[in-house]
Chain A
Amino acid sequence: MFGLLNPFALWFIPLLAAPLVIHFLGRSQPTLKDFPSLLPVRGQLTQAMRRHKLKNWLQLLLRTLAILFLLLAAANLLWRPRHGFAPPVATGLLIHNGAYGAIPLAKTKDKTVLQDLEGMQRGLDSLTLGHGHVEFVLPDASNRISSARFGRYSDALSKLLKEAHGQSPVHIHLPVFDWSDMEESRPLLIKALTENPGLRVVLTEYPEASGHLAPFTHWSLNFPKENIASLKTRFSSSNPASGEVFWTPSGGSPRAISTAKDSIELQVPFSQPGWIRGELSLPPPQGDGFAYPAAAIIARIPPPLTLCHVGNAFASLASLGRGGLRLQIKSFADSHGPGSEPCDFLYLADPKEMDAGLVGRAAEIARGGGKVILGLGSNTDMALLNRSLLEPLDIGRLTQLKRQDAAAVQVHAAAFASLGMHVGTWGDPGKVTTHLALSPGAKATVLLSSGTDPILIYCKTGRGSLLLWTTDINDREWTDLGLGPWPALIHPAFVSGSSMVHSGLQWVASDSTFLLASGESDELRVTDETGTTFSRTQRDPDGWRIGPFDHLGIYRLELHRDKGADTSWLAVGLAENRLQTEEGSKGRFMEGLGESRSQVLVREADADWRTLYGGFRLRLPLLILAALLLFLEGVVSLRLRPAPISAARD
């Protein structure tokens, strides 16, 4: 938006002189004229001319002021109320260092905001999302940012608002890449704005991010072939040429993929029977133009129902570059006892149901060639884990819960390298405050540590392998996903070697319905992450139709058959069309804010934030004033019109 701070505004200043120039140029030089006698009329004439001059000056003043107000209106001035000038006692900035945040403009603007805020900040807290790299170098900000955690947008905002509670005035800057994402945060925001009148929220929108995701150039694909009709990617400015895109089937050699004008399409069937496995790679995007969007898997609906674990769902989604989707795992249960069904990958993120059966199942998978990721937390039974999993597999022994001040996490790069992970460019792994102390076993390889305490352990367990996080997943500082970008990078790398035969993904768009094949007499019970029953289910000739869904997350599907219950999990992600910003979502969001709108400012990323920072837009009042002045000028002009001839002849 063009503002007065824009140097080009100076070019418009001469406009102010226009009325003066017109006025003085328009003045005709009086001609000398004889007149019989002025004596009887001199008084009246002098008075009339004095009045006329006064009116002329008034007219000039009105015109100049009208132009001035029009210029000010064009400059989109902002009036800040008295308290608006006071620097905030605290400023919060939510930095998106994930897929969206990787857009160059977002980085630049966040950096600018940080620099601009530096002068008036008293406290700065920042949270980061996603798994991109943070490159800010501000001394104050960088420390904060380096300790940032991952999490969902709403979680990050929640934390920020919680910290802002009770402080006034306080300003929070939020990046908005997709207004649909803001829907979830709206109630939270309204509540905070209602409770804290001193809270100002500046939403910086990045319209060019619409329809795009992170510039990922590399995808690992592991999907049952029958679940995929075709694979397409969409891209915009960086159109890779044929010969730059490669498909590397699992165990095969890369082959070039031909590209169309605006898409890449891999047609199935592939040579491998049963499964599509391999990697798709594109050349790095050039310049500041946008990079490649995420791949879109065009799945056949309904996908075949296979065993699904939440961790699997996450890992698969993360590997597709959908960094925006994060699932908060509140509970987890595995109804499949040892030997019930084969499973190649298990991710236990401190589920409530971590009983002997589940731990035994994990040990069985780890021994049998599968892969297990183990996260700990308040539900962790150390004795059970030690006894049934860690000591038998010679991984180590958990000893105690340790709390400490945030301590930096050290990276054992060589250990990662031995596993084929080259972590040199992965950035800072962050800090840790709460974790369980572990005495590593002989087979354990420490990948991350805090001081002498292992944070992440890798262990080869017979044919399988296991990753153990000692951090507390329930700790507020510790999100469901772990430290920095590392889990998002480690997990796919760890999982990619898995055969994945039995870890198919059930995926359904949130605005769609999911068909669960079942018998006629089978009863279905669906619960969400919090254990609340989800009742939007309907019997269908082919089974149960579930959805549409209210919110994203993991849904537990219990199918009660004659022979017993069969449990599976359904990950509800964003709709397939989420790459395109939903029409009107911004309007709905703003409308939903109701009376709080004056405290919420929206600006585009390329706008000068200073002119938008708190206060009221003066454009309309200034336009009204200018119109009023022009009206008055018109009235004065009419009053200055000469008397008609008829009046003279009366």
Chain B
Amino acid sequence: MQLKTVLTPEYLAHILGLKLRAQAVLEGALAGWHPSPFHGYSSEFSQYKGYAPGDDIRHLDWKVFGRRDHLVIRQYRDETNASVHLVVDTSASMGYKSTQSVGFSKLEYANILAASVALLAERQRDAVALGYGGKNVKEYLPPESGPLRTRELLRRLESLTAEGKTDLETLFAEVAPRITGQSFVFLFTDLWQDPEAIAAGLQRIRRKSKTTTLVQLRTRDEAEFFSEGSFRLKDLETGEELEVSSAQARSAYLQAVKDHAARMLKECSKLGVRLVPIQVDWPCDLSLRAILPRN
């Protein structure tokens, strides 16, 4: 059995502790993959920049000056000051665990992915920030790097509970001002809200970060609906109940979800935000690969 390809939620459930899970996921994801996309700790050359007064002359490329008579500054990856912002939606709907598959709730799955990203950032000595909440930001840990920070962050992630209503517009709006500098933003949510409202909040984040990834988490129940039976569905956030017969309501539900996804994709495309739909019974390492920026 190769760990890197079979990091299913069922398997990960046997690994105790978020850190271990996240490490397993990360190792699985990085095995055989390209170098980290983040501009983290590295002495590797990144790009040239025209010299400006005030620049550290230690980084002047004298060879270029000798050849072309231009002063240019060499920039390195560890000098980009990138930070990774992890935003986790902790509304009650995120606590839903599929009845059709063994594994994690959406929130647990989001935590694993977020933790994996955090470990990756730590490995690259990037600063990592964590914000979470449903309707509002409950807590926001500003970007910091280092193992201590990562440990603290993992502890917070482990302690998250799903409760309250979703208001992504407000949540994103409150997160946006806290994003500074060059940032990679990962938003973990199930997007159970009106796409246009989400887009309004998303726009604010997009202004602060050009690399925003919206990770949409869905369980199999939400993606396929129930195949049979008659239910009284109770909305986890509002408590509202609706009686449905799955056989008859299914096609309508699927159509509604399809419409919702199309609208969401349209809004994201408009904003230049990556929308990555993830189903929580997929292998976590594959999901992690999917959400990491390609470049």
Contact = CB atoms under 8 A, between A and B. Distances in A.
Contacts of A43: 256
A44 B260 CA distance: 12
Contacts of B225: 648
A36 B234 contact: no
B79 interface: no
A620 interface: no
A34 interface: yes
B250 interface: yes
A44 B255 contact: yes
A381 B226 CA distance: 109
Contacts of B161: none
Interface in B170-229: 190, 192-194, 219, 221-229
B80 interface: no
Contacts of B247: 640-642
Contacts of B256: 40-41, 43-45
Nearest to B222: A36
A44 B253 contact: yes
A246 to B, nearest CB: 85
A40 B194 contact: yes
B237 interface: yes
Which one of B166, B247, B249 has the highest number of Cβ atoms from chain A below 10 Å of its Cβ? B249
Interface stretch (A24-32, A115-123, A315-323, A495-503): A24-32
B236 interface: yes
Contacts of A45: 242, 244, 249, 252-253, 256
Interface in B114-139: none
A404 interface: no
Nearest to A31: B231
A45 B230 CA distance: 13
B230 A642 contact: no
B254 A39 contact: no
B252 A647 contact: no
Contact of A640 (B231, B240, B242, B248): B248
B257 interface: yes
Interface string A28-65: 11111111111111111111110110000000000000
Given A643-B254, A648-B254, A32 B236 contact: no
Interface in A444-489: none
A49 B247 CA distance: 10
A162 interface: no
A257 B235 CA distance: 101
Contacts of B75: none
A34 B193 contact: no
Contacts of A30: 230-232, 243-245
B41 interface: no
Contacts of A10: none
A45 B226 CA distance: 13
Contacts of A645: 224, 227
Contacts of B269: none
A36 to B, nearest CB: 4
Interface string A128-154: 000000000000000000000000000
A647 to B, nearest CB: 7
A82 interface: no
A640 B251 CA distance: 11
Interface in A613-650: 640-643, 645, 647-650
Contact of A52 (B190, B193, B226, B248): B248
A648 B224 contact: yes
B13 interface: no
A32 B232 contact: yes
Interface residues of A, number: 34
A28 B225 CA distance: 19
B81 interface: no
B100 to A, nearest CB: 11
A41 B194 CA distance: 10
A42 to B, nearest CB: 6
A38 B256 CA distance: 11
B106 to A, nearest CB: 8
Contacts of B245: 30, 49, 52
A486 B236 CA distance: 103
Contacts of A648: 223-225, 250, 254
A640 to B, nearest CB: 6
A32 B234 contact: yes
Contacts of A34: 96, 233-234, 236
B111 interface: no
A40 B254 CA distance: 11
B254 A37 contact: no
B93 interface: yes
Contacts of B5: none
Contacts of A647: 251, 254
A19 B246 CA distance: 23
B42 interface: no
Contacts of A28: 229-230
Nearest to B106: A36
Given A30-B231, A641-B247, A648-B224, A38 B242 contact: yes
A29 B247 CA distance: 15
A492 to B, nearest CB: 86
A642 B246 contact: yes
A41 B253 contact: yes
A40 B193 contact: yes
Nearest to B248: A52
B46 interface: no
Contact of B192 (A40, A51, A641): A40
A48 B228 CA distance: 15
A647 B223 CA distance: 11
B233 A38 contact: yes
Contacts of A31: 229-232
Given A41-B257, A45-B256, A642-B227, A35 B236 contact: yes
B101 interface: no
Interface in B246-295: 246-258, 260
Nearest to A643: B251
Nearest to A35: B233
A169 B251 CA distance: 62
Nearest to B105: A36
Nearest to B246: A642
Given A37-B166, A37-B192, A648-B224, A48 B249 contact: yes
B260 A40 contact: yes
A46 B166 CA distance: 22
Which one of A29, A35, A52 has the highest number of Cβ atoms from chain B below 10 Å of its Cβ? A35
Nearest to A27: B230
A33 B234 contact: yes
A49 B192 contact: no
B244 to A, nearest CB: 6
A35 B234 contact: yes
A245 B218 CA distance: 102
Contact of B190 (A33, A36, A41, A48): A36
Contacts of B96: 34-36
Contacts of A649: 223-224
B193 A39 contact: yes
Contacts of B99: 33
Nearest to A649: B224
- Rank and list the top 3 A-B pairs by shortest CB-CB distance, nearest first: A642-B247, A48-B252, A37-B192
Given A30-B245, A34-B96, A35-B235, 20 more contacts: A31-B229, A32-B241, A34-B234, A34-B236, A35-B221, A35-B234, A36-B96, A37-B190, A37-B192, A38-B233, A38-B242, A39-B237, A41-B256, A44-B252, A48-B244, A48-B248, A49-B242, A643-B251, A648-B224, A648-B225
6 contacts: A31-B232, A35-B233, A36-B96, A41-B252, A642-B250, A649-B223
